[in-house]
Amino acid sequence: MAEINVTPMVDVMLVLLIIFMVAAPLLVTGVAVDLPKTAAKALPSDNQPISITIDARGQRSIGDEVMSDAAFAARLTALQEARGTDARVVIRADAALPYGQVAALLADVTGSGFTRVALVNQPRAIPAESGVEPAG
């Protein structure tokens, strides 16, 4: 009894499947409109955290901009209004800085309304003879 060879049909179906998988993302649905051209910049991405640094002398900066305490508070308020309370904030404090200054900075940041605040540190090197394996 002769059996039907389905291999060519499977080959054709796989080729059609690949063609549809490639072509489907290219299809644009909706009403066709001619969008206006503008010179507006892209909105800032909320994925990037706000980086706050305080050096050994106690100077505060947001990003790369060093500023006075009054300017720092005003900038924090402006950032909170622009990005909302859920924006991520990372604080980089010098290791030689007294704890009280770091706590005051943390209080200023959370007092501005930010709720997602993290302190950046460097992991401590574990001596090889300790028998403890590093995580990761």
- pLDDT score at 135: 58
How many residues belong to the chain? 136
The segments of the chain whose pLDDT lies below 70 read 1, 28-33, 35, 42-46, 126-136
pLDDT of residue 44: 61
Give the residue from 134, 66, 69 showing the smallest Cα distance to 101.
69
Q: What is the pLDDT of residue 76?
A: 92
For position 29, what pLDDT does the model report?
Answer: 64
- This prediction has a pTM of 0.58
Q: What tens digit of pLDDT does each residue of 95-115 get?
A: 888 989 999 999 999 999 999
Query: How many Cα atoms sit within 13 Å of 75 on the Cβ side?
Result: 15
Give the burial string for 51-68 (b: 16+ CB within 10 Å, else e).
ebbbeeeeebbbeeeeee
CATH 3.30.420.270 fits 50-119, yes or no: yes
- Token output for 85: 């309370």
Is-contact 94 54, C-beta < 8 A? yes
